[in-house]
Structure 1
């Protein structure tokens, strides 16, 4: 399935968390099968899914190809008490890290099953999730050593603002930010449309 296919992109929120949980975990297990990353196991990842989906503002897009799950993206806005920026180095200005609950959408996960990689599915799922967002910007963390993934996000308009290891056992991650348009959603200068 290396050709462009029509995807059915479905939106889910906090109220749907229980109904999509197993699908999220199953896709994750397939994507990370054989990984030696201690945080890639189902039980460890389930804690992340449960943490994010417990947020009342949780948003998820699941993609399907003829009812076959393809992949997903999910996240939630950063609240005023977030610790998202606290371990980013170099230290970022207070004005940059101040959160209101409606300033920054944190993209926690974006993954696509192998048969649909290279088809543009990841970009379509990403864009579908962020197009409807009202926040001014989006942020994500990506493994510093995954240079191809970092480069892919850069081609989508993300800029690296620092590095972080947000919790014990976490690898060194690049903290990246994508500016959304003034009223939220994807648009405007600096947002590439070629990937």
Structure 2
């Protein structure tokens, strides 16, 4: 039995919204796992956030399929000039570093692969297809700390990311590391 055939599809803008029925089952399956352990409230927050973010200029969704079945996805958008992304970091940034134009930095807000399909290069393919052709200078994402999400950190480091700071989304919420890849 050979390796499954992996295909990658990409949608932009409002086309992404029509793919929620593909993404949501993967989201529910992947993000309930440790260290995330998301429940009904977080899933509802994802649906609400996704419904808003598809309206952002140049929003993109990428879905990987193995033999036709969805196995992973990524979603992101170039950070708009009024982004709060860098302000959310606990570390200080310079105005030059934090200046966004809507074309400078791709913010990845979702990147996930089903557990039985990990460590096969699928996440790297999805990642590449997400930023390919956007013309951005850099890519950023938030990931749980290395102590909680060592495999993700290892993958991002292998792709060239470096940790530049940390972010706490709210009281009682876990800390995430902010990672940056310069293209």
Q: Residue by residue, what CA displacement relative to the aligned partner does 1:22-61 show, whole Å, maximum 9, x if unpaired?
A: 2111110111246634587421221222232121311111
Residues 1:146 and 2:110 are matched in the alignment: no
How far does residue 176 in structure 1 lie from its aligned partner after superposition?
A: 0.7
TM-score normalized with structure 1 length: 0.83
Q: Quick one: distance in 1 between partners of 2:64 and 2:6?
A: 6
CA contact (8 A) 2:79 2:103 kept: yes
The SS at the match of 1:154 is helix
Q: Quick one: distance in 2 between partners of 1:18 and 1:152?
A: 28
Q: Quick one: distance in 1 between partners of 2:55 and 2:162?
A: 28
TM-score normalized with structure 2 length: 0.88
CA contact (8 A) 1:29 1:41 kept: no
Which is further off, 42-51 or 107-116? 42-51
Instruction: Provide the residue aligned with 2:180 in structure 1.
Output: 177
Instruction: Provide the residue aligned with 2:52 in structure 1.
Output: 51
Q: Quick one: distance in 2 between partners of 1:40 and 1:134?
A: 35
What is the root-mean-square deviation of aligned Cα atoms in Å? 2.1
Give every structure 1 segment of 4 or more consecutive aligned residues whose post-TM-superposition deviation is greater than 6 Å.
none
How far does residue 87 in structure 1 lie from its aligned partner after superposition?
A: 2.1
Q: Residue by residue, what CA displacement relative to the aligned partner does 1:55-109 show, whole Å, maximum 9, x if unpaired?
A: 1311111111221111111100111110000021220111111111111010111
How far does residue 168 in structure 1 lie from its aligned partner after superposition?
A: 4.7
CA contact (8 A) 1:4 1:120 kept: no
Q: 1:122 to 1:116 in 2, by over 3 A?
A: same
Which is further off, 34-43 or 69-78? 34-43
Residues 1:73 and 2:83 are matched in the alignment: no
Residues 9-48 of structure 1: pairs in structure 2 closer than 5 A: 9-33=8-32, 36-37=37-38, 41-48=42-49
For these two proteins, the number of residue pairs brought into alignment is 179
Gaps of 5+ in 1: 181-195
Instruction: Provide the residue aligned with 2:110 in structure 1.
Output: 109
Q: Quick one: distance in 1 between partners of 2:120 and 2:94?
A: 38
CA contact (8 A) 1:161 1:176 kept: yes
Residues 1:159 and 2:162 are matched in the alignment: yes
